[in-house]
Amino acid sequence: MTRPRWLLALPLAAACSREAPRPPPARRIETSLVVVTLDTVRADHLGCYGYFRDTTPQLDAFSKQSLRFTRCLAPIAHTTPSHFSLFTGVHPLEHGIVSNPTVARLVSHGHPAVQLPRLKTFAQAIAARGYRTGAFVSALPVMRPSGLAAGFDTWSEPRPHESRRVARETIREAVAFLDRVGGEPFFAWIHLFDAHGPVARPKWPSPGYLERFQTDEALQRWLRERGVSEEANGRSIFAATCKANNEYDALLRFLDDQLDELFERLDADDLRGRTVVVVTADHGEGLGQHGVKSHGFACFDEQFRVPLLVRVPGLEPGVVDVPLSTIDLLPTIAGLAPGLRDDAYLAQGRGHDVRSATFEPRPLFGMAAEGRGAASLATERYRLVLGKEGVVTLFDLEHDPHELHDVAADHPEVVARLRKELDAELAGQRSRCALPLPTEGGQGAVDPKLLEELRALGYGEGEGASEEAGESPPPKDEGGDHR
């Protein structure tokens, strides 16, 4: 049932003929929501999270107007499943999308788009209340076949035969939607892919960006503090790892420089006082830490930790140190802006309002993409990782924030407790799964065109880009216009 947008005046008894006429009913200003997801953006490469380079001046300025959450973790480092978790409020094994190629297989078997029985996305829930809904996405893993278009009455994605587009094009479509909605309440999702490699020289990024950041002592020291390897398989890889970080920072600055038009529109008088704005990411990136260049198949902080900036009208900016998962994002927004609360939607999820007085931090779940088998639980002090072959490692995050030393043998009681909790979490997610989980060899062939498009973006079946830290293969030109 459409939520009423007008306050109706209660009938008044005619007390006397001299009573002043009652003014007409005022229009209710309902809270709107904009969620911006920055694909493949790890928190610690942003200036507002302490990075030593000037990669994100626009985001840094926005953070000063916002609540900045210092420890937000995604439950998986793959684009499609992470977005499903964000917008359904459940973990990947529960919604059943456990890698980007999961979608490719479903589409290959006659499904025009993923559908999740028993689960609604936030867009479906808010649209049922009469909100205008618009989504503006930038790359293949979240295009229509993913199923993430459900609930959006306006949908914008790259042109046919293109697998991605630059932020400026996506933002232009989003701003046009914001201009059209007028005073109506709305939910807009804006997905930007520019920090995700590979580059497509000379079209993307714009000329000059790839030369912006050069290897220096500060970068070398920063990488060595994080245990980045000097050699692999008998060859030096440190210089190549520095180059990969320089390139990533250049792409991040390219993305940040394109946010000006979006932030300017969101600051306009017709939106600023009634719109909650969220900026976050779907996952991080390895960039050479733990020998991993890309993302999707390891359970470490650089894979999971993402920025989370939340600007709420009338709420003072600040810093929130409470650990949370991205499945907690929309429940927390509902607490900060009760007009966006939808009880039926919240009831299906596993997330919590982390700003509630009754909230108690709990271990945060994370998993590798399908086929890799790894899963983890992170508390404020420890991260336990269960490997594919049942090997357990434990990291003391208080004394070893970059997860370089396994201390499982020193804390058997912690291992036993967290292993029990992780096993229970995995069993619970699987018991509630909305889709049949993939099994080895039982899925049939994947449409080779879809799989090739995913590989061009760095995704093979069941994994993230699997190159070890070092020189990557020459990038493929993805075709299409990447202005």
In sign, the C-alpha dihedral spanning 74, 285, 321, 279 is negative
CB 189 within 8 Å of CB 150: no
Torsion of Cα atoms, 384 then 385 then 386 then 387, to 10°: -160
In 3D, which of 191, 225, 186 has the Cα closest to residue 51? 225
Tokens encoding 365: 């779940």
What pLDDT score was predicted for residue 206? 87
**Burial class of residue 304, CB neighbours in 10 A (0-12, 13-18, 19+):** buried
Total H helices, total E strands in the chain? 15, 15
Contact by Cβ (8 Å): 174, 180? no
Contact 383, 397 (CB under 8 A): yes
Q: Where are the domains of the chain?
A: 32-361+450-456
Say what the pLDDT of residue 161 is. Answer: 85
The rounded distance, in Å, linking the Cα atoms of 205 and 194 is: 8
For residues 369 and 294, the answer to whether their CB atoms sit within 8 Å is no
CB 270 within 8 A of CB 20: no
- 346: nearest Cα among 82, 90, 83: 90
pLDDT at 436: 62
Write out the chain's pLDDT in tens, 483 residues.
333 322 223 232 333 333 334 443 333 458 999 999 999 999 999 999 999 999 999 999 999 999 999 999 999 999 999 999 999 999 999 998 988 877 766 665 556 677 787 899 999 999 999 999 999 999 999 999 899 999 999 999 999 888 899 999 999 999 999 999 999 999 999 999 999 988 877 778 888 999 999 999 999 999 999 999 998 888 889 999 999 999 999 999 999 999 999 999 999 999 999 999 999 999 999 999 999 999 988 999 999 999 999 999 999 999 999 999 999 999 999 999 999 999 999 999 999 999 999 999 999 999 999 766 799 999 999 999 999 888 999 999 999 999 999 999 999 999 999 999 999 999 999 998 877 654 433 444 556 666 666 666 666 543 333 344 433 333 333 333 333
The whole-number pLDDT of residue 29 equals 55
Helices (H), 269-393: 269-272, 301-304, 329-336, 343-348
Total residues belonging to the chain = 483
CA distances from 295 to 230, 292, 325, 331, 468 (A): 20, 7, 18, 27, 11
SS3 helix, strand, coil % of the chain, rounded to 5?
Answer: 35, 15, 50
- Determine contact, residues 403/73, Cβ cutoff 8 Å: no
Beta-strand ranges (E) seen in 157-298 are 186-192, 231-232, 235-236, 275-281
DSSP labels, 371-436: TS--EEEE-SSEEEEE-TTS-EEEEETTT-TT--S--GGG-HHHHHHHHHHHHHHHHHHHHT-SSP
Q: Which CATH number fits domain 32-361+450-456: 3.10.110.10, 3.30.565.10, 2.30.29.30, 3.40.720.10?
A: 3.40.720.10
d(CA 354, CA 333): 9
Rounded to whole angstroms, how far apart are CA atoms 172 and 334? 28
* Cα 93 from Cα 82, distance rounded (Å): 11
Q: What is the pTM of this model?
A: 0.86
Q: How many CB atoms neighbour CB 190 within 10 A?
A: 26
Which tokens go with 228? 């980045």
Spatial separation of the C-alpha atoms in residues 80 and 94, rounded to whole Å = 14
Q: Specify the long-range contacts of residues 407-412, CB closer than 8 Å, at least 24 apart.
A: 408/384, 411/382
Distance separating alpha carbons of residues 62 and 72, to the nearest angstrom: 17
